[in-house]
Amino acid sequence: PLKAFIFDLDGVITDTAEYHFLAWKALAEDLGITFTREDNEELKGVSRMDSLEKILELGGRTGDFSAVEKEALAEKKNEHYLTLIQDITPADLLPAIKELIADIKAKGLKLGLASASKNAFTVMDSLGMKSEFDIIVDAKTVVNGKPHPEVFLRAAEMLGVEPEACIGVEDAAAGVQAIKSAGMFAVAVGPKESFENADLVYASTAELSFDKILEVYNG
Ligand code: BG6
Ligand code: MG
C-alpha cells in the first residue's frame, strides 16, 4: 500500500522553473548564445554545473572556459536566480499544491522533497513549506543528479519506506526517469508527449487530484 509522496520542487511546488530559465537565458545572452524555452526543457531537473555545460555546448563554446571560469559563470547565474526568488511567499505555491499536500497529510501518508537544487531549503522556507515536509533531500547531499534515482531513493530511505510504496511527482523528463529508475510510481506535470514513461500525466498542477492518483496507483 501507498505510504509516501515525494515531490520535486522547481516547477512542481512553485514556479521557480521559470526563474531558472530566466537566469540561464540572461547568462547565455551575455555569452552570445541563443537559448530558447525549448532548449530549457532539456535543463529541467539538471544540476547547476551540468546545465552550464549544456548551454556552452549549445553555443559551441565548451572549450572556451577553464574550470575556474565555469565556476564563476555558474555563480553569476545563481546570483541572478537568488534575486529572482527573494520575494517568494506562501502565495507562490502552484495551483492545487496546498490542497494536495493537505490531503496527503490527512491520510497519514508521509511527505518528502527530492530536489536537484542547492537552493531547495531557502525556497521551501520562503514558501512556508519547510516544516510541512517530513524530510527534504537537496543537491548538497546527493552525489548523482537526476535522471539517476539517488535523490528519490535517499528520500524514501529517510522516510523509512520502500520505493514501491512511494509516488514521485515531477515536471522534468530527467526527474520522471529518476522516479521510474527508483522503482516508484511517477506522476508528471507538463505536456503528455514529454513523459512517455510516467504512470500519470497532468497538463498542470491545477489538475492534480489526490483521489485520481490513488485510484491509478492502486490499479
Ligand atoms: C533543479 C531545476 O530543480 O535544480 C534546474 O529544475 C536547476 O533547473 C537545478 O538547474 C539546480 O538548481 P540550483 O538552485 O542548485 O542552481
Ligand atoms: Mg522540476
Residue 46 confidence (pLDDT): 96
State how far the Cα of 92 lies from the Cα of 127, in Å rounded to an integer: 7
Q: Which residues sit with their C-beta closer than 6 Å to ligand 1? A: 9-10, 17, 20, 43-48, 51, 78, 115-119, 139, 172
Closest atom of ligand 1 to 45 CA is 6
Q: What is the pLDDT along the chain (219 residues), one digit of tens a residue?
A: 999 999 999 999 999 999 999 999 999 999 999 999 999 999 999 999 999 999 999 999 999 999 999 999 999 999 999 999 999 999 999 999 999 999 999 999 999 999 999 999 999 999 999 999 999 999 999 999 999 999 999 999 999 999 999 999 999 999 999 999 999 999 999 999 999 999 999 999 999 999 999 999 999
Pocket test for ligand 1, best of 117, 138, 142, 170 (most atoms within 8 A of CB): 117
Read off the pLDDT of residues 2-26 as tens digits, 9 standing for 90 and up.
999 999 999 999 999 999 999 999 9
Read off the pLDDT of residues 180-200 as tens digits, 9 standing for 90 and up.
999 999 999 999 999 999 999
State how far the Cα of 124 lies from the Cα of 136, in Å rounded to an integer: 9
Length, in residues, of the chain:
219
List C-alpha distances in Å: 161 to 2, 123, 204. Answer: 9, 25, 28
Residue 171 confidence (pLDDT): 97
In a 3-state reduction of DSSP, which class is residue 188? strand
Residue 1 alpha carbon to ligand 1 centre in Å: 32
Residue 124 confidence (pLDDT): 98
Q: Are 140 and 157 spatial neighbours (Cβ–Cβ below 8 Å)?
A: no
Residue 128 confidence (pLDDT): 98
Closest atom of ligand 1 to 51 CA is 10
Residue 25 confidence (pLDDT): 98
Residue 19 alpha carbon to ligand 1 centre in Å: 10
Residue 12 alpha carbon to ligand 2 centre in Å: 6
Q: Are 3 and 165 spatial neighbours (Cβ–Cβ below 8 Å)?
A: yes
Q: Which residue has the cell 514521485?
A: 168
- Give the H/E segment covering residue 6: strand 4-7
Residue 79 confidence (pLDDT): 98
Residue 49 confidence (pLDDT): 96
Dihedral sign for Cα 42, 93, 201, 102, please. Answer: positive
Residue 64's Cβ-count burial label (10 Å; 0-12, 13-18, 19+) is: exposed
Residue 177 confidence (pLDDT): 98
